[in-house]
């Protein structure tokens, strides 16, 4: 009975997702993730502590 219930949930969720994507303006998740990664990389590059130099003679 468990496999039938999980399969039904998966099929229903997939169908509902397709319906939403076709009828509503759903944001592109991959584009949002890429933008977040670019912003995180920018912050890391600008606010990283400088590396300590060992034995500068």
39 within some domain: yes
For 3-31, the pLDDT digits (tens) are 888 899 999 999 999 999 899 998 889 99
CA dist., res. 8 & res. 20, Å (int): 18
pLDDT at position 24 is: 92
26 within some domain: yes
Place 55 in a pLDDT band, splitting at 50, 70 and 90. low
57 within some domain: no
- pTM value is 0.49
17 within some domain: yes
37 within some domain: yes
- Domain holding 35, by residue range, is 2-47
52 within some domain: no
Tell me the CA distances in angstroms from 32 to 1, 22, 23, 39, one per residue in order. 38, 19, 20, 11
- Please, are residues 20 and 26 in contact by the beta-carbon 8 Å criterion? yes
Q: How many domains does the chain have?
A: 1
55 within some domain: no
């Amino acid at each position: 009975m468990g496999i039938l219930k999980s399969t039904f949930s998966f099929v229903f969720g997939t169908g509902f997702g397709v319906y939403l994507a076709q009828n509503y303006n759903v944001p592109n998740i991959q584009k949002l993730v890429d933008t977040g990664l670019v912003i995180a990389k920018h912050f890391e590059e600008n606010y990283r502590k400088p590396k300590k130099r060992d034995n500068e003679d």
